[in-house]
Amino acid sequence: MKAAIRHLVRNRRRSLLTLLAVLCPVFALVVMFGFASANLSDMFDTVTRVDTGHLQIRHVDTRAAGSATALMQDPSPAIEALAGIDGIEWHTVRLDLPALASAGDRSRTVLIQGVVPEEIDPISSTRSLIVAGTYLTSDSPGVVIGKELADLLRVGVGDDLVLLGAHPETGVGVLRVPVVGIVDAPIAEMGRSVVQAPLALTRQLARSATAATAVVVRVAGVTGPWDSDRIDAVAAKLRAVLPADYVVLDWRDLVPQVDVFLRILNPALLIVAAIFFGLGALVVLNTVYLSVMERTRELGLILSLGASRGRVMRSILSEAGILAGVGAVGGALGGVGLVWIVEALGGIPLPAEYSAFAKAVGINSVLHLRVDAPQVLLAAAAMAVVAVLAAWVPALRASNLEPVEAMRYVE
Amino acid sequence: MSNSPLIRTIDLRKAYETEAVTTPALCGVDLDLHEKEFTAIAGPSGSGKSTLLHLLGGLDRPTSGEILLEGRPLSGLSKDQLARLRMTSIGFVFQAYNLIPVLTVLENTAFVLELQGVARAERIERARRILGELGIEKYADQFPNRISGGEQQRVAVARAVVSEPSIVLADEPTANLDSAASLELIDLMRRLNEGKGATFLFATHDARLLDRVSRVVTLVDGRISTDEVRDSA
Ligand SMILES: Nc1ncnc2c1ncn2[C@@H]1O[C@H](COP(=O)(O)OP(=O)(O)O)[C@@H](O)[C@H]1O
Ligand SMILES: [Mg+2]
């Protein structure tokens, strides 16, 4: 051990290089993972909070309703089922109705989200996104629309919209309602096509006093897709108690883009990690190999004096192990430190030209980093192990030197 | 000398094969070495002295013939068994580069004891004692590159004898030393031989050193040409 450290100190440059070969990949991976998981969490949260919830209970689509969601004439069995299940943060009834929104000579197809305004806050953050006017209340008729839609239809707060609701199961209904508020939706497509209205008003359009399309559920304790176990558990319980003509959709059905992103992201991160590990391993292999070459005569002497091959291997591996350990811990601490500093400073704001893109895909215009302890530990441990395995190659060579030849070796 | 020899070689041969050429280095050596002997192997450069020491020390294998160490043949031993044998039974002093640069004189001296698994306190104590006996205790905490070549060789002798091996094999230990330092080193080995009864076999082509030894085996072209016992020293 003492000899190992002295060897490392004797050739500081090479030791530093070996150390960096372990430290840099770990550091980069911690930051990269941190970046990916923060943005994934952000995207997941945005979509589930503003729009879909974690789970939705819907009615089985018996009439091939096309693009419209199947209606349930009465959502009360779903609500009763929810009452008996733990782990639910909040739920609310929603009626989504395709409609044509017109103002003057301009019109656009939209999706009316009929919501219970008083219930929606824990699930949806729409209220906080209001940029003009006010949010909905149950007793006053009026709708909230996205900024983008307001621009398309050239309407502002106080202007009337004509809504032509059409559902294959209910036929057509027409209403004239004022715009009471305008929201800056986190996703541009949502801002163009979503109109929020009180549930009662939407039911009028659907010509049914009890109709709903979904009971939207938010599961307690979910911070990102990695908590999907909790969601799945609640979904399973619901499926077990609901009547057969109800279905439970989870976030994978509701937010397929997050699921797709996850499916691409994890392999992509793994490939990047493998490349980093491979590069780190190559550098370690190289530096340890050089150190073995340089010490050929010393190794020959040690073998001549009767050191076992195992001892020679252990001495080379312990040197590599010390550097790998220090490098891995250093890289992890460095990465976590950077994440911590970035978060303490409030994240990295995206340049203006990217914020439209960020909005389009549903991520914040401030990029955040997130430390995932198991990921950090895994990255650090895996790199340290890979480094020691890489050192195995030169260590094996060292232990198989012929003592007499090795002692005669000249650099 | 009818008691059984410490080392016996029987028709020992070694030929080095390199690509096309085969170099015969030892051509049938029969040699008995006894405990407490202080023997020099003399002979011109290329006569096979190093080769013989390497074979006797289990650092290399003969092409044919046999070596018996304390009656046990070396030919059947595996690579790892030979390493163990070197660690337990042989002390080595090489011509140069004897010491491990990252270890102090004391740690170098104790190195073989460490390989043998001797407890730390004991090996430090034994290493200090032998350094004291050889008058180089003051260098105990120095690193090898801070002491002279003669001192380094003395440390190498200290390391070779500290574990009390069956025999110390020294391959031209004085080759890189001036004549005063050479004589000092041989005298020191001789004192260890007489005082502690350590058995030495060393190769040299320096005729002046031969006055100090009790037996001189001369190799010429891989064969023993003379083997004389002297009562000098
Ligand atoms: N590794 C080797 N490969 C080929 N030939 C060798 C090797 N070692 C020694 N020899 C040859 O064997 C002969 C004896 O060498 P050596 O034992 O080193 O003699 P000495 O130590 O007496 O100078 C010489 O001819 C030398 O060139
Ligand atoms: Mg020689």
Is B116 in a helix, a strand, or coil? helix
The gap from C-alpha B125 to its chain's centroid, in whole angstroms, comes to 23
* Same domain flag for A11 and A82: no
Substitution candidate for ligand 1 out of B17, B29, B47, B51 with most atoms within 8 A of CB: B51
Give the pLDDT band of residue A244 (cuts 50, 70, 90): confident
pLDDT tens-digit series, residues A11-61 = 888 899 999 999 999 999 999 888 888 877 777 777 777 678 888 888 886
Does A203 share its domain with A224? yes
Of B60, B102, B115, the CB nearest to A307: B115
Are A250 and A281 part of one and the same domain? Answer: no
Interval between CA B162 and ligand 2 midpoint (Å): 24
Closest residue by Cα to atom 13, ligand 1, is B25
Residue of B nearest to A310 (CA): B80
* A22 Cα to chain B: minimum distance (Å): 25
Residue A123: what pLDDT? 62
* Residue B51 beta carbon below 6 angstroms from any ligand 1 atom: yes
d(CA B171, CA B173): 5
Q: Is residue B43 part of a domain?
A: yes
Q: Which residues of B touch A8 (CB under 8 A)?
A: none
Q: Is A336 left (phi over 0), alpha (psi -120 to 50) or beta?
A: alpha
Spatial distance between the Cα atoms of B46 and B35, rounded to a whole number of angstroms: 27
Say whether residue A307 is in contact with chain B using an 8 A CB cutoff: yes
Q: In which domain, by residue range, is A321 found?
A: 2-47+260-408
Buried b (16+ CB within 10 A) or exposed e, B170-179: bbbbbeebee
Domain edge (last residue) among A223, A254, A285: A254
pLDDT of residue A316: 94
- Could you give the angle at the alpha carbon of A395 between the alpha carbons of A389 and A399, nearest 5°? 145
A59-63, A132-136, A329-333, B152-156: the lowest-pLDDT one: A59-63
Residue A23, min C-alpha distance to chain B (Å): 26
Mutation for B interface: A297, A299, A305, A408, most B CBs within 10 A: A305
Give the confidence band of B1 by pLDDT, cuts at 50, 70, 90: very low
A301 pLDDT exceeds 90? Answer: yes
Spell out the long-range contacts of A220-224 with Cβ–Cβ below 8 A and sequence spacing 24 or more: A220/A87, A220/A88, A220/A89, A221/A87, A221/A89, A222/A48, A222/A54, A223/A41, A223/A45, A224/A37, A224/A40, A224/A41, A224/A44, A224/A45
pLDDT at A195 over 80: yes
Tell me if A104 sits within 8 A of A161, measured CB to CB. no
Number of domains forming the structure of chain A: 2
**Does the pLDDT value for residue B233 go beyond 50?**
no
Nearest to B87 among A297, A301, A306 (CB): A306
The region of weakest confidence among A211-220, A223-232, A267-276, B219-228 is A223-232
At A361 the pLDDT is: 60
Q: Is there a single domain that holds both residue A240 and residue A192?
A: yes
Partners of residue B87 in chain A, C-beta under 8 Å? 305-307
Q: What is the CATH number of the domain that holds B187?
A: 3.40.50.300
If you take atom 7 of ligand 1, which residue's CA is the nearest one? B16
State the burial class of residue A64 (Cβ atoms within 10 Å of its Cβ: 0-12, 13-18, 19+): exposed
Count interface pairs A-B at CB distance under 8 A: 57
Report percent pLDDT > 90 for chain B.
Answer: 85
**Both A173 and A277 in a single domain?**
no
| Close Cβ partners of A159 (under 8 Å, ≥ 6 residues apart) | A103, A178, A179
Let me know if residue B210 belongs to a domain. yes
Among residues A202, A226, A254, the one where a domain terminates is A254
A297 touches chain B (CB under 8 A): yes
Judge whether B2 lies within some domain: no
Cα distance between residue A48 and residue A36, in whole Å? 18
Nearest CA in chain B to A304: B59
Residues A229 and A135 in one domain: yes
Interface of A with B in 9-28 (CB under 8 A): 10
- pLDDT for A121-151, tens place per residue? 666 667 778 888 888 888 778 999 999 999 9
Q: What gap in Å lies between CA A227 and CA B187, rounded to an integer?
A: 80
* Sequential DSSP letters for B136-200: -GGGTTS-GGGS-HHHHHHHHHHHHHHT--SEEEEESTTTTS-HHHHHHHHHHHHHHHHHH---E
User: For chain A, what is the mean pLDDT?
Assistant: 86
CA distance A236 to A27: 39
Q: How far is B104 from chain A (nearest CA, A)?
A: 10
* Residue range A216-232: mean pLDDT, rounded: 85
With a 6 Å cutoff on the Cβ, whether B55 touches ligand 1 is no
User: If you measure from the C-alpha of residue B13 to the centroid of ligand 1, how many angstroms do you get, rounded to a whole number?
Assistant: 13
Instruction: Kindly state whether residues A266 and A166 are assigned to the same domain.
Output: no
Mean pLDDT across B51-75: 95
Find out whether the beta carbon of B232 lies less than 6 Å from any atom of ligand 1: no
- d(CA A255, CA B16) in angstroms, rounded, equals 75
| A76 and A101 together in one domain | yes
Task: Assess whether the C-beta atom of B3 lies below 6 angstroms from ligand 1.
Answer: no
pTM assigned to the model: 0.78
Per residue in B2-29, pLDDT (tens digit) is 478 999 999 999 999 988 899 999 999 9
B116 lines ligand 1 (CB under 6 A): no
End residue of a domain, out of A254, A282, A299: A254
